C-alpha cells in the first residue's frame, strides 16, 4: 500500500508530496519546487534535513 507523505522543504519552505515508500532513512529526496536535496534522517516520525555537501 502506498500513501503520500507531505514534506516541508527546509530550503524554500514549500510543500511537496512523496510516496511513503520513498521515505527511507538515508534516502535523498529532491524538492519538486526548488530542487534542493533533502535527506531523510528518520522514518517514523519522519525527520528530514537539508543535505549539505561538503
**Positions that interact with Zn ion (CB under 5 A):** 9, 11-12, 31, 33-34, 36
Shortest CB 19 distance to Zn ion, Å: 18
Nearer to Zn ion, 9 or 48 (CB): 9
Q: Which C-beta is closer to Zn ion: that of 24 or that of 50?
A: 50
- The pair phi, psi for residue 37, each rounded to 5°, is -95, 130
Q: Which is nearer to Zn ion, 9 or 18 (CB)?
A: 9
Whole-angstrom Cα distance, residue 34 to residue 31? 6
CB atoms within 10 A of CB 4: 10
Amino acid at each position: 500500500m502506498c500513501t503520500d507523505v507531505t514534506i516541508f522543504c527546509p530550503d524554500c519552505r514549500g510543500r511537496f508530496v512523496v510516496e511513503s515508500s520513498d521515505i527511507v532513512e538515508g534516502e535523498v529526496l529532491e524538492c519538486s519546487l526548488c530542487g534542493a536535496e533533502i535527506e531523510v534522517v528518520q522514518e517514523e516520525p519522519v525527520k528530514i534535513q537539508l543535505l549539505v555537501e561538503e
